[in-house]
Copies of this chain bind each other. A is one copy, B any other.
Amino acid sequence: MGKIVTFGEIMLRLKSPGHERFFQSPVLEATFGGGEANVAVGLSRLGMQAVFFTAVPDNPIGDHCIEHVRMHGVDTSSILRTGNRLGTYYLEAGANQRPSVVVYDRADSSVSNLRVGDVDWNKVFETADWFHITGITPAISASAAEVSIEAVKKAKEIGLKVSCDLNFRGKLWKYGKSAPEVMSEMIKYVDVAIANEEDCQKSLGVELDVEIEKASLGIDKYKTLTEKVLSMYPNLEMIAVTMRESHSADHNTWSAVLNDRKSFVVSQKYEITDIVDRVGGGDSFAASLIYGLNHYGNEDALRFAVAGSCLKHSIPGDLPLFSLKEIEGLLKSGGSGRVQR
């Protein structure tokens, strides 16, 4: 099994404690996370060689950010130290009918100021055989979008497999281009697409005659959706789509489908009634799926990915702090949560 590179923005995550609204206590939980870093950490914890590439400022906040990725075994040696500031996001955890609040504070971040030519991709991709990117980076700034496309092109050129989590973020995409304009170009260099139903529609502009904000879609609609995407982008080897039914901020169901052009697979479904932290849930799916695709057949990979990301919902923070043994344990036990002693 080879080495996997991920590239994107890592942020300082500032969360109010427990279920408090911002500044009810004069304290913020301060950790680090971001889609692509989360994937790298997940892969490393599962036992694969993972490289995280990004740009962070050359100040103490940047230093500590790197330490907190490196501690999980991720190779951080190619990270660029440049720019003014680390992107930041504020998080308030929802409960019941109150949704979580995310406030982005990413303006002028190091990654947003990267330009084509700043990165020596040959060095970043050295000895790697997989590259993972998401739809968040091209949403940050025009130049970050250009660098993203430069990256996937280069990756394809030198023979890496490319996966992309479409990850539509409505609060970004402020620099003048729409998501579909950029993403429909980027996806041409992608082998494995990962998405949820909203991503498919808002990132790729795939029209479906369903209301995307609704809690659930029929499985057949998902089949249609994946077929539509695959037919639009013949380069895609497969697409995996996660399905979240959101009953409340605490209670979701979680499952996924995968269409690899040969078959359409529907995963097991988990009832998650007491969510601890759902941020990073999709990233843990991506990490587990990439692991799965590198170790099992596609159907088992999907099952593994759904189990891994189900577990993430019980873990505070962005990072998928799970182990291979724990995902295997869930797949075996079904999740009764009995104490082992």
Contacts and interface: CB of A to CB of B under 8 A. Distances in A.
A1 interface: no
B316 A99 contact: no
A22 B61 contact: yes
Task: Tell me the interface secondary structure of chain A in the complex.
Answer: loop
A101 interface: yes
Contacts of A27: 25, 27-30
Contacts of A249: 314, 337
Contacts of A341: 102, 104, 169-171
A246 to B, nearest CB: 4
A40 to B, nearest CB: 15
A21 interface: yes
A94 B171 contact: no
A316 B248 contact: no
A90 interface: yes
A274 B338 contact: no
B96 A272 contact: yes
Interface string A5-24: 00000000010001111111
A313 interface: yes
B26 A24 contact: yes
A67 B72 contact: yes
Contact of A14 (B30, B102, B246, B321): B30
Contacts of A313: 96
9 contacts: A19-B314, A24-B321, A26-B30, A61-B103, A94-B337, A97-B311, A99-B329, A99-B340, A248-B337
The 5 closest A-B pairs by CB, nearest first: A249-B337, A97-B335, A71-B71, A95-B314, A98-B314
Interface of A: 14, 18-31, 59-61, 64, 67-68, 70-73, 84-86, 88, 90, 92, 94-105, 107-108, 169-171, 213, 215, 246-251, 270, 272-276, 278-279, 310-311, 313-317, 321, 326, 329-330, 333, 335-341
